[in-house]
Structure 1
Amino acid sequence: MLTKRTLLLGGLAGGLLALGLPAHAQGRYPDRPIKLIIPFSAGGQFDIVARMLAQFASTELQQPVVVENVAGSGGNIGAARVANAAPDGYTLLVLGGNHAIAKSLYAKPGYDVTKDFSPISMVSITPHVVLVNAAMPIHSMAELVAYAKKNPGKLNYATPGMGTSMHLTFEMIKAHYGVDITHIPYRGGANALTDLSGGQVNLGIIGIAPAQEFLNAGRIRALAVTSKGRSRALPNVPALSEVGYPELNAGSWLGIAGQRQMPAEIVARWHGVVRAFQDSPANRQRMEEMGFRIEPTTAEQFQKFIASEVEAYGKIVRDNKITAD
């Protein structure tokens, strides 16, 4: 016969047992909406791919994946927010080359890209495109170099931000061709493109996808892409390797990551979602049309890639004496 004391002791034991279970074991993941932080403004290349992935993931996971743009400090503000969130799989980061650069560029970026995240998978990579306002008398890289040398210090170029991969790539281009062009950093590619198309700046270096609308409207012109070969999205635009810079092969990569202590089963769940997204013929076709190349990786491969990018970009920052002040 059960006594009141027995019931009380049984309830206490059950409560203690529940308290001892890991948080992720107490319910099915996911059981509520997931937040995907894009550390740049809306309309840029990160935003385009992340929103495609979020829509796909919402169906796969049967929970809303809500995109939130947290721009500022070259992607550091959004990354730091994710690094300091609970490692429960409900706040994820769109991770990119800017975060690998930040380790060398900033004294205190607010996170350590090699230690504070659980890399899930790379998603895609795309070359940058060198652009010019349509009113400028420049139609090729040769004309750009000639104009810049005749007018040292008078041209300027827009990027999505200080220390971004676009910024470092254009600084390499300047050094290679021996030209003096002033950097104008913006908070995101969309803002840079708006001012470039309006003539507030002369040149720009942005991802292909967000630039296409402005290119199609004839408000800007593409001079070159920064990959070894031409992009399927801009087949008539030469690669820099064709116009005097054969060793350059630069671009923007994008991946997904969670916090350092995120459970392995949640990493695996999201890795499966990303791989399904990449394997979809419709997604693959749409991505390629916009200039993105699908890049499947394991979580371990992605982690090694991030470390290699930290080392490579760190050398560029040091060699060019670039600072974030």
Structure 2
Amino acid sequence: MSHALNRRRLLGALLATAALPRVARAAAYPNGPVTIVVPFAAGGQFDSIARQVGKPMAADLGQPVIIENVGGAGGNIAASRVARAKPDGQTVLMYGGNYAVAKSLYKKLDYDPLEDFVPISRISLAPHVIMASTKSGITSLAQLQQRARQGGLSYGSPGVGTSMHLTFEIVKDQFGLDIVHIPYKGGAPVMTDLIGGQIDLGIIAVGPALEFIRTGKVVALAVTSKARSPALPKVPALAELGVPDLDAGSWAGFAVPKGTPAPIVSRLNESVAKALRTPELHKLFDEQSFIATPGTPAEMRAYAARDAQRYEPIIRKLNLQGS
């Protein structure tokens, strides 16, 4: 046997031995409670999804799943903390579209929202719905375009830099609409003022708007996904109305710190997929108009990169800055 072959075998054995501790750690995963860090306060959409998915995941992983709410700075406090956590899969970030636009929206970040995390899976998509006040007299997107050319219209969103705000601004650009943006602190006050006629138009997620649409308190004009929402089958999607490339909504997923071993990433991805297949979760998601979106880590990374690319031009154009 040649000396070269012996050396290659020895090197292979040494590399395999060096990898054993990491593989062993991954095989033992999880070896304690798994904490899902939610970047917003309890009671919101992200918090609700994390708790709903966390319950079946705990059963599957055989360890408690703890939900920890770490709000502030548009989710940046939570993300910065998780980015610096030990990459062992025990700390998971509730990740969403807010991180896809963070680099464009915030000039100074102490973490990279795209590079400092390993995606696990997308979990859900909540399409947005564009609505009109019943007092505006607007009942279709065609009427909206006609009225907007005259000026004087206003629309409300849950805040500057949110996916709802950015999506509506893309629609304005696409159709050449002149509509003033009124930012609110969440979707509930948007609906209050839309129903009262203080604003002409509004955009929030389908779920919280559903009851107001069904009872005729506001008029749904379009949903922002490529396909119609199952909850609003009679409301057209923007893709049908001249915006074929737009497929927008509030989306949520899980991510872990960069450097987390691939076997742990795979185990978490598998656990998310199992959770999203449970009948109980399907029922809860249907009630809240969430669309389950399980997938691979690579698909989640591509989706986040696409959002970053889509929204960066409008952020630059409007000179938006997060605070």
Is 1:183 the counterpart of 2:181? The answer is yes
What residue number does 2:271 align with? 273
What residue number does 1:205 align with? 203
What residue number does 2:49 align with? 49
Q: Distance in 2 between matches of 1:40 and 1:195?
A: 24
What residue number does 1:242 align with? 240
Q: What is the identity, as a one-letter code, of the residue corresponding to 1:132?
A: A
What is the count of residue pairs matched by the alignment? 303
Per-residue deviation at 1:37? 2.3
What residue number does 1:114 align with? 114
Q: Quick one: structure 1 residues 168 and 234, their matched pair in 2 at CA, closer, same or farther if it must change by over 3 Å?
A: same
Q: Quick one: structure 1 residues 205 and 39, their matched pair in 2 at CA, closer, same or farther if it must change by over 3 Å?
A: farther
Per-residue deviation at 1:128? 1.4
What residue number does 1:323 align with? 320
Q: Quick one: structure 1 residues 266 and 245, their matched pair in 2 at CA, closer, same or farther if it must change by over 3 Å?
A: closer
Q: Quick one: structure 1 residues 25 and 239, their matched pair in 2 at CA, closer, same or farther if it must change by over 3 Å?
A: closer
Is 1:63 the counterpart of 2:63? The answer is yes
Per-residue deviation at 1:217? 5.1
1:92-125 deviation digits (Å, cap 9, x = unpaired):
1111122111112211234212221121112233
Q: What is the identity, as a one-letter code, of the residue corresponding to 1:302?
A: M
What residue number does 1:9 align with? none
1:235-269 deviation digits (Å, cap 9, x = unpaired):
12111233344443322332100111333333222
Q: Return 5+ residue gaps in structure 2 as ranges.
A: 1-20
The worse-fitting range, judged by mean Cα deviation, of 276-285 and 110-119 is 276-285
Q: Quick one: structure 1 residues 64 and 204, their matched pair in 2 at CA, closer, same or farther if it must change by over 3 Å?
A: farther
What residue number does 1:156 align with? 155
1:227 touches 1:248 (CA, 8 Å); kept in 2?
A: yes
1:153-197 deviation digits (Å, cap 9, x = unpaired):
x413223x3222222110011122222223233444455445545
2:95 touches 2:252 (CA, 8 Å); kept in 1?
A: yes
The worse-fitting range, judged by mean Cα deviation, of 209-218 and 48-57 is 209-218
Is 1:84 the counterpart of 2:70? The answer is no
Q: Distance in 2 between matches of 1:290 and 1:172?
A: 26
Equivalent positions of 1:219-298 (< 5 A) are 219-284=217-282, 286-288=284-286, 290-298=288-296
The worse-fitting range, judged by mean Cα deviation, of 133-142 and 274-283 is 133-142
Percent identity of paired positions between Structure 1 and Structure 2: 46
2:154 touches 2:181 (CA, 8 Å); kept in 1?
A: no
1:74 touches 1:162 (CA, 8 Å); kept in 2?
A: no
2:82 touches 2:256 (CA, 8 Å); kept in 1?
A: yes
Normalised by the size of structure 1, how large is the TM-score? 0.78
1:266-320 deviation digits (Å, cap 9, x = unpaired):
32221111110223344345435644333332223323433343333324433x3
SS in 2 for 1:35: strand
Normalised by the size of structure 2, how large is the TM-score? 0.79
Q: Distance in 1 between matches of 2:188 and 2:39?
A: 13
CA root-mean-square deviation? 3.2
Q: Quick one: structure 1 residues 175 and 304, their matched pair in 2 at CA, closer, same or farther if it must change by over 3 Å?
A: closer
Q: Distance in 2 between matches of 1:271 and 1:26?
A: 14
